[in-house]
Amino acid sequence: MSESKPSGPRNITLHIWPKLADSLAFDVASVAALFCLQLAIPGQFAISYCANPDSSPSGQLPFLTHGLHHVSGLAPIAAYVRKLHNARNLDAPLDTVQMSQLTARVAHLESSYGDLVNHMLYSLQENWSGVTGPALVSMLPVPQRYYVPLRIRTSNKARLEAAELWHVPEVEDEPEEPRRVLGRRKKRHPPNEPHKFKPAFERQKVVEKARALFDVYHRLLGSNQFFLGSALPTTLDVVFAAHTHLLLKIAFPDPLVSSVLTESYPRFVTHHDAVFRASFSNPTRLPPVIEKTWTSSLRYLIPWPRVPVRRKSPSSVLAESPEVQQEEWRYKLWRWGFIGASVVAATAYLLYTTRNLTVVLKDRKSPPRLASLPTPPPSPEEIPDAEESSEGSEDEQKAEEE
């Protein structure tokens, strides 16, 4: 049975990260998706700048909407657009061997080149505090801008640590304050200690990683305008130019990798300009931008459910087994039990605090009770002398006897 193709490119909207400085978007995948659609279906789609990944079916940007279809991720977007009518296949000129190598090379670029770009955005403290952090704060609405930027940086930290590209000398390698040892201050390290050269050593390691990557693709590009000797940009050219785009268009305070690219590999700058001209050569076919109204900002405050995607896969077949259903039911009971216990505890706490508050208010409204004051001792003038009292008592006794 032949696979049915989607309808023509009508009402196609590409949701990408907003712009940053002179770049087309803040994210590499967003720039690559914009290049891909502009080369495949120029002038037949619209752009919607979005900073809410929760609106995507997979929770990631970019994503594409076409009627009832929702496609998320660069590779699925490219595959979906390739099936549209009157869409140009970017990889049509490649032969069988080149097509078999294309997937591996694109994955290598997204891993190695992507780590270098993320190192510039999230790892270097000067770039984070001067460019990336303020940019995310300006893109996000009020609730998310206080915690989402740090969450994005933390999510990239694990990957960069695995690639040995996470190093922030200004934060992590500050010398500790001298501590007292048996009443004496511990000596500070002299300025010629090896740890003073650690930031420079780490920066040199990043430069070497960048040069090793650029050397491979510099030989692959050779004297051609595009990779693999094609006359028009392919998917490999689009992905490579998207990474180069962020390094060239964002003015980083610490241009560690950008300086290596521009000073030692000017051919990549020329390659990026060629891909950009091929994508946006016709100004009349630029994609329109959908302006969002104030009502669209309410989506950031409300956790809207994502569009369900039904797929038949081995994992879905496994999920229908009785053992898995019993396990899911057990977790569901625990979840609802926890929610019920939380509601009961909150209700009991409210009742307890309300009762105590009522007692306090009643005590404030009732008149204050006067405590019984002790009788003051008599003054010395009121106490009669012992002699006068004894004489008075004798006169009274004589009068009684007479």
373 or 153, higher pLDDT: 153
The pLDDT value recorded for residue 30 is: 93
Give pLDDT tens digits for 245-298.
Answer: 999 999 999 999 999 999 999 999 999 999 999 999 877 778 888 876 544 444
Give pLDDT tens digits for 115-174.
Answer: 999 999 999 989 999 999 999 999 888 778 888 888 889 988 989 998 888 875 544 444
* Residue 77: band (very low, low, confident or very high) from pLDDT cuts 50, 70, 90: very high
Mean pLDDT of 343-358: 85
* Residue 21: band (very low, low, confident or very high) from pLDDT cuts 50, 70, 90: confident
Least confident interval from 56-65, 81-90, 116-125, 177-186? 177-186
Contacts of 117 (CB under 8 A, 6+ apart): 28, 243, 246, 247, 257
* Residue 309: band (very low, low, confident or very high) from pLDDT cuts 50, 70, 90: very low
C-alpha gyration radius of the chain: 38
Angle formed at CA 320 by CA 319 and CA 326, multiple of 5 degrees: 85
The pLDDT value recorded for residue 173 is: 45
* Residue 60: band (very low, low, confident or very high) from pLDDT cuts 50, 70, 90: confident
* Residue 58: band (very low, low, confident or very high) from pLDDT cuts 50, 70, 90: confident
pLDDT above 90: residue 186: no
The pLDDT value recorded for residue 53 is: 74
Give pLDDT tens digits for 321-350.
Answer: 566 567 667 767 877 888 888 888 888 888
Please provide residue 393's backbone torsions phi and psi, each rounded to the nearest 5 degrees. Answer: -70, -35
Least confident interval from 41-55, 296-310, 382-396? 296-310
Q: Which tokens belong to 55?
A: 């609106």
Mean pLDDT of 237-244: 95
Give pLDDT tens digits for 22-45.
Answer: 899 989 999 999 999 999 998 889
The pLDDT value recorded for residue 286 is: 82
Centre a 10 Å sphere on the Cβ of residue 257 and count the other Cβ atoms it contains: 23
The pLDDT value recorded for residue 316 is: 43
The pLDDT value recorded for residue 325 is: 67
Q: Which tokens belong to 224?
A: 């051609």
- Contact between 84 and 5 (Cβ < 8 Å): yes
b/e per residue 309-321 (b: at least 16 CB within 10 A)? eeeeeeeeeeeee
* Residue 108: band (very low, low, confident or very high) from pLDDT cuts 50, 70, 90: very high
Mean pLDDT value across the chain: 78
Give pLDDT tens digits for 86-106.
Answer: 889 998 888 888 888 898 999
Q: Which tokens belong to 301?
A: 């405050």
